Chain A
Amino acid sequence: MSILKVPTFQENVLRLKQYWGERGCIIQEPYDVEVGAGTSCPETFLRALGPNPYRTCYVQPSRRPADGRYGDNPNRLYKHMQLQVILKPTPADVIEQYMGSLEAIGIDLRKHDLKLEEDNWENPSLGAWGVGWQVMLDGMEITQFTYFQQCGGIDLDLVPAEITYGLERLTAFLQGVDSVYDIEWTPGVKYRDVRYTDELQYSVYNFETAHVPTLWKLFEIHEGEARRLLDLYKETEAPAEKHRFPLLPTYDHVLKCSNLFNTLDARGAVSVTERVGLIGRIRKLAVGVAEAWVEQQSLGQQSPAQQEAA
């Protein structure tokens, strides 16, 4: 390695947070509803919408039920950690800033091979897409870099850059280990010690023991609640009522649907024809929330009392 001290997993996280914090990012904590990627969090999906500038950085544990391997596979995880950075609008030197973040965790880029290879991103169930690259460091994909173009089917007033680091891969690279489970989380503690049990048990649950009818029921319950709330929002007319309408909780139910769908899918419970339909149902909700959110935000940041006074 080209650096004196190899960072531990948590040092890596801390250094990246500090780096982006120094560049104007709000350091957020992980969102507390299960998601498949940091992009789905309201901090990204909703904040990307509308005309307000925003910068944030957070770690998001991302659950992908189909990727679970019972803790057996050295590179594949049910739940991996993403470090998500949103820069809205995108600064002109965004790639230089990104490269700086790699230097900040001890990668001497003069001694390594960095390439930006075309990789466009799309999340059909969120009606979101963008163009960008996968960032390859010595042949390994360490980051996904995306210029968002649409969220919830809506064109974006300000194009954000989304930088998503795969923390396990990046740290495994820095520490020179072949298995993510051998990553040193902090001196004396391996990734295995912290996460192996999760991987095993969630794999067992997702692939074997999850009760499919119950998951379907839960899906419908969350879908129903999200739809009920969206209908209610549509009926709301007074700006003050719209302003306080609980769209964020509505979105939580959409996220629940998305995770339940992923779990059902991993379980092999979704036929391919159903799949398209289900993605469409989730997208309809996500688009509904996005549109309502844009409208709600346009009502202004003031409290209703201030609005009335004005």
Chain B
Amino acid sequence: MNLLLEIGCEEIPDWMLADALDYLKTAIAYLLKQHESIRTDATARRLTVRAEGLIEREPDTEERVWGPGKSAPVAAVEGFAKKQGVTADQLQLISDGKTEKYSYLRKISGRPTVDILAGALPQLILKTPFPKTMYWPGKGGPRFIRPIRWIVALLDGKVIPFEITGVNSGNESSGHRKLGASRFPVTYDTYEQKLRDNFVILSAAERRKRIRAVPTKYVCDNPLLDTLVNLTEWPTPITGSFDTEFLTLPKEVLMTVMRFHQKYFSVATPDGNLAPQFVAVTNTDGDPEGLIRHGNERVLRARFNDARFFWDADQKRKLADRVQDLAQVTFQAKLGSYLEKTERIEALTKELGGDADAQRAAHLCKTDLTTELVKEFTELQGVIGGLYARAQGEPEAVATAIYEHYKPVSMEDSIPATQAGQLLSIADKLDTLRGCFKVGLIPSGSKDPFALRRAGQGIVKIIIEGKLRLPVRSLLQGDAQLEEFFLDRVRNYFRELRGFAYDEVNAVLASGWDDLVDAEERLEAVREVRPTENFEPVAAAFKRVKNILKQNAITPSSSINESLLEPGPETALHLAAQRATARFGAFSYREKLQSIADIRPEIDLFFDKVLVNAPDPAVRQNRLTLLHTMLAEFSTIADFSEIVTSSQENK
């Protein structure tokens, strides 16, 4: 049997479709249990599930019902049988494990799939987890992303009957709002074609292909492409143009208007500049009279005129004259104004070693928040400041630092290119982190309204990729919560972005993370040496050493008494450890790790032959000191006991 479910809805926000489909697929697969295939599709106005290979009804099941014991009076046995709707001779006398009892094997026939679906679908549909739902038609009504207007629910061609707020399931779908019929019958087999006949392309992949198929070469922006795929049922791209005079405006502004305000792709010239063209994606079957192109060009012209109006108006006051205005712009209620933040960023930039340009950039970096252009295009904060600084004759290094000081805006984004920009960016983000943690605005779970995780991640990325030797821990001012939060960001960076194994990251960070550039070098060395044959056995041995030291809660002596060392394996280990560390000063981390791994035979032999817990307390003490010294010296690179060895994984 096959299932066709189409939830017809008013326009669903484009970014919510994927999660809704994921949910529906999982929920329906769970409900159906047996099926051969299940697929989902969506446009802005419909969420569709198609499943094949369904069974007509659940398999029958049996349940044993226990009755009275073997010695019960006949009347009791008959009474039990009657209750089960059978006669006494249909009962079985068997043991329940303790005593013999009368019992009856009751057969439960499986429910028809159509009944299961009809019963479960209304709630299943309404439970679709949308980020922001509405109720309708009134208080207490169901919640969904927008009102549901039709439902197709067919099981092998038959309607699965149910109702959601006055909308009954049926076999009629709906086409494109303007180009298709508003109601038409569909079947499982004709569904996709019927939609196509009514100007709805069900497949997102096919809609994407239509959008890509435009003669103009545009700059493909995948998130925008996804948005447009989900906003349209019959996408048709058109190319428009704008007056070249607007090219005197910064391309950042032009591209932002096109990308974020108009959802247009911008077009590049062969030499990589911005062409005076755009690609808009319409939800139509074409624009033969050029009306749509004309309309979009007009709108873009108005937007660009606005931008130019703001640009010109903003030039009337220089950034340097706007610093005091920041007293009127709140950074955060408990943390004061942007003027106060500016003062802190300036001091911090200096403390981090920023030069005169970096400090000047810090002084000016937030002033663009008072400009008309940034009020209009908030996503261009920083960028506008940089452009204005350049236009107003600030040194190029200052302008660039301001321009880039919000970078990196994501894990994938690059860090500021100049050191002034890097230090300014760190100062800005660090100030935000310190302040927010101080007043208790700490991210928890999915709640991170001030994007502190991103700020922390940005700092980590800049320090490591900018190879900045900054004393990270002291920058966090001993705030334990902030340290823990920051360390999480460091772990996350190394694991998610750099692909280091979690135990390698833990091992290395346990040996210190004040210098992240150094931590990165140690990590790379561990990754390199790890596959060599002796590394993991040595790591396992260190774990053993650590446990032994933990169990023997004694303070090891400061130095090893060589006269107490037993000749043989103990002395051999001592000498091997000394040999390994003797040239540490001249070694790279990789060489150090290699030399540590090389003492494996001595370690193995030691544990094989020597009793650490020697009866003589002085000998025991000395042995523990030997192990402790070795552990301490080798742990400057990584805490090897954090390494998960393959023998552990097999357990």
Contact = CB atoms under 8 A, between A and B. Distances in A.
Given A114-B178, A139-B280, A139-B296, A75 B302 contact: yes
A49 to B, nearest CB: 11
A34 to B, nearest CB: 24
Label chain A's interface by main secondary structure.
Answer: loop
Contact of A74 (B11, B292, B302): B302
Interface string A94-124: 0110010000000001111111111010000
A107 to B, nearest CB: 10
A158 B139 CA distance: 7
A88 B342 CA distance: 50
A295 interface: no
A147 B147 CA distance: 10
B134 interface: yes
A115 B283 contact: yes
B13 A159 contact: no
B284 interface: yes
A118 B14 contact: yes
Nearest to B296: A139
Contacts of B374: none
Interface stretch (B316-324, B326-334, B521-529): B326-334
Contact of B306 (A75, A89, A159): A75
A111 B294 CA distance: 12
A90 interface: yes
B208 interface: no
Nearest to A130: B134
Contacts of B193: none
B333 A268 contact: no
A109 B13 contact: no
Interface in A245-304: 268, 271-273, 276
A204 interface: no
Contacts of B134: 130-131, 147, 149, 159
Nearest to A109: B178
Nearest to A180: B302
B306 A138 contact: no
B135 interface: yes
Contacts of B306: 73, 75-76
B299 A118 contact: no
Contacts of B179: 110
B92 interface: no
A37 interface: no
B210 to A, nearest CB: 14
B48 to A, nearest CB: 19
B283 to A, nearest CB: 6
Contacts of A147: 134, 136, 146-147
B434 interface: no
Contacts of A178: 298, 301-302, 305
B305 A74 contact: yes
B295 interface: yes
Contact of B292 (A90, A112, A159): A112
Nearest to B16: A118
Nearest to B264: A139
Contact of B138 (A92, A96, A157): A157
Nearest to B284: A113
A173 interface: yes
B590 interface: no
A49 B646 CA distance: 67
B178 A110 contact: yes
A140 B299 contact: yes
B231 interface: yes
B291 interface: yes
B223 to A, nearest CB: 15
Contacts of A89: 137-138
Nearest to B179: A110
Given A147-B134, A147-B136, A272-B328, A92 B291 contact: no
Contacts of B141: 159
A4 B146 CA distance: 36
29 contacts: A74-B302, A74-B305, A75-B302, A75-B305, A75-B306, A89-B138, A90-B136, A99-B177, A113-B280, A114-B178, A116-B10, A117-B14, A130-B134, A131-B132, A131-B146, A133-B11, A138-B292, A138-B296, A139-B280, A149-B135, A157-B139, A158-B138, A159-B135, A159-B137, A176-B294, A178-B301, A268-B328, A271-B328, A272-B329
Given A139-B280, A156-B139, 16 more contacts: A2-B289, A74-B302, A99-B177, A110-B178, A111-B291, A112-B284, A112-B291, A112-B295, A138-B295, A147-B136, A149-B134, A155-B139, A173-B295, A176-B294, A178-B305, A273-B333
Interface of B: 10-11, 13-14, 44, 132, 134-139, 141, 146-147, 149, 166, 177-179, 182, 231-232, 262, 264, 280, 282-284, 287, 289, 291-292, 294-296, 298-302, 305-306, 309, 328-330, 333, 337
